[in-house]
Chain A
Amino acid sequence: MNDIFDIYLLEAVINGLLLGGLLALLALGLNLIFGVIDVVWICYAEMMMIGMYVIWWLHVEQGWPLLGAFAAGIVSIAVLGAALHQFVIRPVLSAEPINQLLVTGGVLFFLQAVATVAFGVEFRNLGVRLPTVAIGEMNLSLARLIAFAVAIAAIGGTWLFLSRSYIGTAIRAISQDRGIMPLMGVDPGRIYLTTSALGGGLAGLAACLLVLQYDIHPAIGLSFGPITFLICVLGGLGNLIGGFLAAFIFAQFIAVGGFLFQLEWGYVIAFVFFIATMFWKPEGLFAKRR
């Protein structure tokens, strides 16, 4: 009896690890945008939700091959990210920080409504069901394993882009000193736009991975949005590595807490842990010492 209990617990831990990869991907996009533009996109998960609908519509309604629909989903959310910056964020860049936060809150309602108008409130799914993989006595979902691998690869790719390419270096530079970069001949407007498109593209990629595991409905963003902000804050807003580690900590609380008690209690424990951590280390768990 005891052995079986342990195997289930291990399965929960592994599922938490797999969920962590996905959350880390979402947190990366949001953190990147905050680090560079200094604005939190409250509507980040809603952009991902739109991406899920784009993929569903192209694949199921238009008969596109799945990979083509994925590529189109990523590109369209990257464009949506750039458009969000151009038309909504740019006019409020010099406004009160709280107005910047709120304006993306308005976009959250707007995107939810767009999805409702276009697709209704019914639950949709791709109709693609990937098998489960049996490892020992555990059954792990193949979709989750793929999602984990792709998310980690994408995080690695983004890291390489930021550290090796010219524009990546400019992005990192501007996040360190906003004032000095224009003097160095870098156009901040262009960097902001590129970062927004990159952040959007990451949300689009997350959409590809989630659409294999979850049904799509207009409110699905709400199940991922709040967790994503809290992960970013927990790791230190704008701190990419901190956000990555925090995603795995959070996912373990949700998976193991949910396994030991009930799904909601897993979230409650994770949120209470978040609040407690804020008091203990307000600048985030992994902030560099000041």
Chain B
Amino acid sequence: MNRSWILGGVGLALLLVAPFAGFGTYPLHLAIMALLWGFIYTSWSIMGRLGMVSFGHGAFLGIGAYGSVLLWNTFGVSPWLGALGAIVLTLALAVLIGWPCFRFRIVGHYFALVTLALSEVVRLVIVAMRDHTGGSLGITPKSALTDGATVAVGALQFSDKLVWFYLVVACWLFALWVWRRVDRSMDRLALEAISEEEDAAASIGIDVSRTKLKVTMLSAAMTCVGGVLYAQYQLYVNPETVSGIGISLQMVFGAIAGGMFVMLGPTVGAVFLLALSETLRIAVGNTIHGLDLLIYGALLVLFIIYLPKGILGTLLARLQRTG
């Protein structure tokens, strides 16, 4: 136990000083993206690992991104408050969809497809409200960085990537902490019992629906925060990139490719997917349009067939066997 704490501490320290090693802004941008997606995938896996595989987290990501941007652009509400509003809406939606799902025992394929329908609803509502949201063309938050200012704390806009880096690191660490808390709590044992056998779990006095709902709300709210950060960092969102089926599937893939049953698994998945798509984009992307996606899709299929526990999951299991 002690050794992993020391390793973790050293790793974190290295990560925190990494921006000063002089790699330049592009690697810093990649690091921010990897950690931001690491944060989002970890949020997804909090419920995914307990047998609630959602194909609809794009709904929560979309509410976060569009909620904060629309409130800022239309009413000038600071994204900090906007994020709160988006979280409240996300929680309401999570309860609205989660409570009946858990009450009526909608699990497995059915749960995945119901949540998929939810994210489609959110995406289509965003597209349909095109007078306010810009439809499928997307939307840009109004810039608050006038007169050469680099920081607008109230508007959550920073032109300096360093600020973003530390902000995203903080969120990511928070997600890992939540992951660990859930992992260590009674709820996890209860939920694992539930994902094995719901009736048996209920028979020993576990309130199945309530326990599931708590974890779902937590995961949804964190994903929503991820959406707010994504919109403010990229300064552009469109319905397809935050709520499309592609992004919802990508979250599931990322978490599973890394290994959703270990704490750093989803982060490893995020780093892996980003490294893969960047490498492919640089190596082949410009010559043949679509070739990078082709290799990406083929690798995902091979991964699920040959490494169902994910990269980190398989690695740790192997280490445990030998050591």
Residues of A whose CB lies within 8 Å of any CB of B are: 40, 42, 88, 91-92, 95-99, 101-103, 105-117, 120-121, 218, 222, 225-226, 229-230, 233, 237, 262, 264-265, 267-268, 271-272, 274-275, 278-279, 282
Contact = CB atoms under 8 A, between A and B. Distances in A.
A106 B297 contact: yes
Contact of A275 (B121, B244, B245, B289): B121
A119 to B, nearest CB: 9
Contacts of B30: none
Contacts of A271: 117-118, 120-121, 124
Contacts, number: 140
Given A226-B120, A265-B128, A267-B120, A97 B108 contact: yes
Main secondary structure of the interface of B (DSSP, over half): helix
Given A96-B308, A99-B308, A226-B116, A107 B301 contact: yes
A112 B293 contact: yes
A275 B103 CA distance: 14
26 contacts: A40-B113, A88-B301, A92-B304, A97-B108, A103-B305, A106-B304, A107-B297, A107-B301, A110-B294, A113-B296, A116-B289, A116-B290, A116-B294, A222-B245, A225-B245, A226-B117, A230-B116, A264-B127, A268-B124, A271-B118, A271-B120, A274-B114, A275-B114, A278-B101, A278-B114, A282-B106
Nearest to B252: A102
Main secondary structure of the interface of A (DSSP, over half): helix
Contact of A102 (B245, B293, B304): B304
Given A97-B109, A222-B245, A229-B116, A264 B301 contact: no
B283 interface: no
B39 interface: no
B125 interface: yes
Interface string B278-302: 0000000000111111101110110
A101 B296 contact: no
Interface in B248-262: 249, 252-253, 256
B236 to A, nearest CB: 20
